[in-house]
Amino acid sequence: MRSKTKFWQMLGRGTRLCPDLFGPGQDKQFFQVFDYCQNLEYFGQDPEATDVPVVASLGKRLFTTRLQLIGALDQRLDVSERGGIKEIALPYAMPANEVELRRDLAELLHRETAAMNLDNFVVRPRRRIVEQYAKAEAWKTLTPEARSQLAAEVAGLPSEMAAEGEEARRFDLLVLRLQLALLRAEPAFQRLREQVMEIAALLEEKAAIPMVREQMVLILALQTDDWWQDVTVAMLEALRRKLRELVRLIEKRQRKQIYTDFDDEMGDESEVALPGFTAGTDYAKFRAKAQAFLRAHQDHVAIHKLRMNRPLTVADLGELERMLAESGVGAVRDIERAASESHGLGLFVRSLLGMDREAAKQALAGFLAGKTLAANQIEFVNLIVNHLTEHGVLDAALLYESPFIDITPRGPEALFSSGEVDDLIAVLAAVRDTAVAA
């Protein structure tokens, strides 16, 4: 392999902990790697990353290809010809021209976008643009910038439209690409046309099936050059709608089975140094030891300040670092790693100890002053206090995740005004700043 991501994922399987693996108190301490393809040797050289990009889903490719087809049609049509979207969709009504095809494409993408569940955690970050294009009017005119934005942010999001068979959707994609190639006069048109003709030939073999026999005139015509003379995108759309439910009847060709019989040769073990690799169990033990040590010394001035949400000084941070180093709970590299990953040693210590509950309430006192809260607002604030008590800080982004959105899917904006949300975020930032030395 050449993907660092996949390589480390595979090694990660071995690093999983397993208490009492060999008996009570005899935990898993090591794992073995059987490397037949010299992956360790390759990645031991710390090569440049060559991760393979993730292939877009079929649904995303259909959405983006339809957007491209709308763009190609818009270049050929006047704004006045594009018109609006039909209020009633007629999925099997054949478009008579490019104007009607453009309207049908826009209507289909509009329905798919409108069926996206805004409470879905995948859709929620794109809520604004999904709500915008859930309105039919937004699809009447699509600028190149709008199409690019839809392809980047909306294509591929889960939709609650009725599921269709994969064979039919793959045939849709084939014909959509054929339509695009026709409009753009691309060389790929010939190759795509031959694929459609091959499918028609395979369908001809299913003439005994009534639903295939109904379309036999079209199926036979597709296999002739005459049908493809002066073909239009509307004609291609008609064939797509007539044949898309028939392609599933084509039998998948069976592949010949190949049997292999290899003898493995086991070589000697060898030690390989991997750049950046350290035992995760050591750092996990460091965190556990550091937490136990800090809890036993909560009366220390610097630790007390963190617990009570009082500002730290540079001297306080130096004292915390000295305490952890002299306690023997971990090596200097562990302390440096903790400070780096937590964006400060003070934030690391507070994440292990949390905040005093009364201090957390006091931090929100200014925000709550003069307000009469409803029941759901009180519950939301209590969740904030609980989180601060347990974790010491709260990133504002977490307000839009569970358990906060269990009260309201829209987050704090559904409970407080825009100005109040800004004040709340400022309070959380102030709490975080007290753990960072001025």
160-171 residue pLDDT tens: 998 899 999 999
Which of 33-37, 231-235, 368-372 has the lowest average pLDDT?
Answer: 33-37
One domain for residues 76 and 120:
yes
| 273 found inside a domain | no
Question: For position 257, what pLDDT does the model report?
Answer: 76
Q: How far apart are CA 6 and CA 234, in angstroms?
A: 45
| 348 found inside a domain | yes
Average pLDDT over every residue of 48-56: 65
One domain for residues 231 and 293:
no
Q: How far apart are CA 144 and CA 155, in angstroms?
A: 15
Q: What is the pLDDT of residues 61-74, one digit of tens each?
A: 999 999 999 999 99
* 39 Cβ contact partners less than 8 Å away, ≥ 6 residues apart: 1, 7
* Domain end position, chosen among 230, 249, 268: 249
* 273 Cβ contact partners less than 8 Å away, ≥ 6 residues apart: 44
What is the pLDDT of the chain when averaged over all its residues? 87
Question: For position 27, what pLDDT does the model report?
Answer: 87
* Domain end position, chosen among 353, 381, 412: 353
Q: How far apart are CA 432 and CA 346, in angstroms?
A: 9
Return the SS3 of 27: coil
To the nearest whole percent, how much of the chain has pLDDT over 70?
92
Q: How far apart are CA 113 and CA 107, in angstroms?
A: 10
Q: Is the pLDDT of residue 183 over 50?
A: yes
Question: For position 438, what pLDDT does the model report?
Answer: 65
Residue 5 CA to chain centroid, in angstroms?
Answer: 16
Q: How far apart are CA 180 and CA 169, in angstroms?
A: 16
Q: Residue 299 sits in which domain range?
A: 285-353
Q: Is the pLDDT of residue 87 over 50?
A: no
Q: What is the pLDDT of residues 96-144, one digit of tens each?
A: 788 999 999 999 999 999 999 999 988 999 999 999 999 999 999 999 9
Q: Is the pLDDT of residue 35 over 90?
A: no
Tally the domains of the chain.
5
One domain for residues 421 and 363:
yes
Question: For position 41, what pLDDT does the model report?
Answer: 81
